[in-house]
Amino acid sequence: MRRNDKIRKILFCDNTLWGLVNFRGHIIAHLHEMGYSVVLVAPQSSDTVMKSSIPDGVEYRKIEIDRCGRNPLHDWKYFVALYSVYREVRPDYIFHYTIKPNIYGTFAAKLLGIPCTDMMTGMGYALKKKSLLNRLALYLYRMALNRADTVFCLNRENQDFILKQKFCEPQRLVLLPGGEGVDLTYFRYGYEGRGKTIFLMVARVLADKGYREFVQAAKTLKESGRNNCLFALLGPVDTSYPTHITQKELETDVDKGWIEYWGVVGDVRVVLSKPGVVVVLPSYHEGLNRSLMEACAMGKPIITTDIPGCRETVDHGKNGFLVPPCDAVALADAMSAFMDLSVEEKQTFSLHSRKKAEELFDVRHVLDEYLKILARQE
């Protein structure tokens, strides 16, 4: 699809630079290559690898945000800062991601007459809790999404929620059935099912990512005598999030030998390409989980929870197993069942994962939706 010459400058706003680079990096790079001027707006990142991942020629504007805080003064400062950046940069179109950028970014954009798209990336912590502040958050979210030109959502349950809550009219809502997609030329197929099984959880170290269920399942299998496997966790300790696992709890579980903590890597493919990797995510809620899509693309078997945003990546019994959330026993049983498969059956699981990625999660399908939105601007 050709570029719209009436759109010259596009701005992307998220609550982390990590989110922009990891989840939308391919989209950002492609739009830049098409000749659009691209600006990223996100908090300061201390990760030099993350900063170096910003494509050459793409501008980065640092802005502070209290991601999970509920202080109205902090949110007001964030809104004012966004308004100032938008007024100075004067983009022709803005894409917002996550709750606070969706709310305050949309208000700022509309005050300046700038069209925008908001993406609901999942039913996060702020929308799950029932309190006066959360009811206020829902009210503000409804106001914002009703003013956005387009709203992206990543699974059908979130689509139903948006329509039920009257967050926007159906004609402005776009479902991305393959989530934000992955670059299948970057995440290439490769699987070796012989030898030790590595049950790998790729996620932030949070309770609602299923951390404790993962540790309990590992403990159960180790105590049952399953020795030809290891359990590893890859991802950051996110202390800014209300349900974060403390450093002390993580260190205790590692010291007891239940799991290994592999920290954070710049290129997840290095870890996913290890022989025997099975990706595990016992999460409680997701939009459409990127780590699982990347696992599919590289042909990894998957064990995850039967919830929106996870179940889309698994055909139960064909490329992995689905288990109920908050159920460490079922998780351990699924891990044990996978280990009992023959090498040939494991290989079949692997091939099915790659096929699923090719059918559903190709980022080129997502890029087409971005270009359609830009093409509609007059």
Output the pLDDT for position 345: 96
> Is residue 150 predicted with pLDDT exceeding 90?
yes
Q: Among 59-68, 75-84, 219-228, 355-364, whose mean pLDDT is lowest?
A: 59-68
Predicted TM-score (pTM) of the model is 0.85
Q: How confident is the model at residue 190 (pLDDT cuts 50, 70, 90)?
A: confident
Output the pLDDT for position 242: 83
Q: How confident is the model at residue 113 (pLDDT cuts 50, 70, 90)?
A: very high
- Pair 133, 241 in one domain: no
- Pair 153, 224 in one domain: no
Q: How confident is the model at residue 147 (pLDDT cuts 50, 70, 90)?
A: very high
- Pair 101, 23 in one domain: yes
> Is residue 285 predicted with pLDDT exceeding 80?
yes
Q: What is the pLDDT of residues 97-112, one digit of tens each?
A: 999 999 999 999 999 9
Output the pLDDT for position 195: 80
Q: Among 16-30, 116-130, 179-193, 286-300, whose mean pLDDT is lowest?
A: 116-130
Rounded Cα distance between 5 and 3, Å, is 6
- Pair 243, 323 in one domain: yes
Query: In the predicted model, what is the mean pLDDT of residues 352-359?
Result: 96
Structure tokens at 304: 């995850």
Q: Do 224 and 193 touch, CB atoms closer than 8 A?
A: no
Rounded Cα distance between 41 and 60, Å, is 6
Q: How confident is the model at residue 270 (pLDDT cuts 50, 70, 90)?
A: very high
The continuous run of DSSP H or E covering 268 comes out as none
- Pair 117, 209 in one domain: no
Q: How confident is the model at residue 123 (pLDDT cuts 50, 70, 90)?
A: low
Q: Is residue 3 part of a domain?
A: no
- Pair 250, 114 in one domain: no
CA-CA-CA-CA torsion sign (184, 187, 192, 198): negative
Domain boundaries, position 103:
9-181+362-375
Query: In the predicted model, what is the mean pLDDT of residues 62-77?
Result: 82
> Is residue 76 predicted with pLDDT exceeding 60?
yes
Closest C-alpha among 348, 317, 338 to residue 221:
338
Q: Is residue 187 part of a domain?
A: no
Output the pLDDT for position 191: 83
Rounded Cα distance between 116 and 374, Å, is 10
- Pair 262, 355 in one domain: yes
Average pLDDT, the chain: 91
- Pair 125, 271 in one domain: no
Q: Do 244 and 206 touch, CB atoms closer than 8 A?
A: yes
Q: Which residues contact 31 (CB under 8 A, 6 or more apart)?
A: 10, 38, 370
Q: Is residue 4 part of a domain?
A: no
Q: Is residue 2 part of a domain?
A: no
Structure tokens at 41: 């707006």
> Is residue 128 predicted with pLDDT exceeding 60?
no
Q: Is residue 231 part of a domain?
A: yes
Query: In the predicted model, what is the mean pLDDT of residues 357-370?
Result: 94
Query: In the predicted model, what is the mean pLDDT of residues 184-199?
Result: 89
Q: Is residue 80 part of a domain?
A: yes
Query: In the predicted model, what is the mean pLDDT of residues 276-286?
Result: 96
- Pair 355, 371 in one domain: no
Q: Is residue 34 part of a domain?
A: yes
Q: Any idea what the CATH number is for the domain that residue 27 is in?
A: 3.40.50.2000
- Pair 205, 290 in one domain: yes
> Is residue 126 predicted with pLDDT exceeding 60?
no
| Helix, strand, coil % in the chain, rounded to nearest 5 | 45, 15, 40
Output the pLDDT for position 55: 84
The structural domain count of the chain equals: 2
Q: How many CA atoms lie within 13 A of 246 on its CB side?
A: 3
- Pair 287, 212 in one domain: yes
- Pair 108, 207 in one domain: no
Task: Report which of residues 217 and 133 the model is more confident about.
Answer: 217
Helices first, then strands: H and E counts in the chain: 15, 13
Rounded Cα distance between 343 and 333, Å, is 19
Rounded Cα distance between 182 and 184, Å, is 6
Query: In the predicted model, what is the mean pLDDT of residues 19-32?
Result: 91
Q: What is the pLDDT of residues 241-265, one digit of tens each?
A: 888 999 999 999 999 999 999 998 8
Q: Do 304 and 314 touch, CB atoms closer than 8 A?
A: yes
Q: Is residue 191 part of a domain?
A: no
